[in-house]
Amino acid sequence: MSNKGDESLARVGGRAGIDIDGSVGPITDTSADEAIAAPGAGKRIGITAIMVTNADDTDGTLVSIRSASTVIWWGFAKVEAGWSINFTKPLMAAENEAITVICGTAVTNGVYASINGVVLPTNG
């Protein structure tokens, strides 16, 4: 797992934030894996891009991106394939909640996810 804030400032909707990215994998079970840690009180994560890859050669799986336990985006990762999306308006997590990734079914060779975003103040 990677989870870094590189201290470069980003502007989203006129507000300054800090760029952040995280990755997780291989995910082989159906438990939640943390891609980006909770940013702290008074802050929340805005997701700007997601890339998911399924390395399994037998099974596809539904991959959910969550703010704690709430699904905020999902997509199906076909066998030896994946998906990606960029958000022009960030997909916002709730205040001080981690971004987690969870597969709907277990896969032998694993699912990998990379998430890019920005940490923003909850208010302001």
Structural domains in the chain, sorted by start: 2-121 (2.60.120)
What confidence score (pLDDT) does residue 124 get?
53
Global pTM?
0.86
Cα–Cα distance measured from residue 108 to residue 118, given in angstroms and rounded to the nearest whole number: 32
For residue range 57-100, list pLDDT tens digits in order.
Answer: 999 999 999 998 899 999 999 999 999 999 999 999 999 999 99
Cα–Cα distance measured from residue 89 to residue 6, given in angstroms and rounded to the nearest whole number: 21
Q: What's the rounded mean pLDDT across residues 7-23?
A: 69
For residue range 16-59, list pLDDT tens digits in order.
Answer: 678 899 999 999 999 999 999 999 999 999 999 999 999 999 99
Determine contact, residues 82/93, Cβ cutoff 8 Å: no
3 CB burial (10 A radius; 0-12, 13-18, 19+): middle
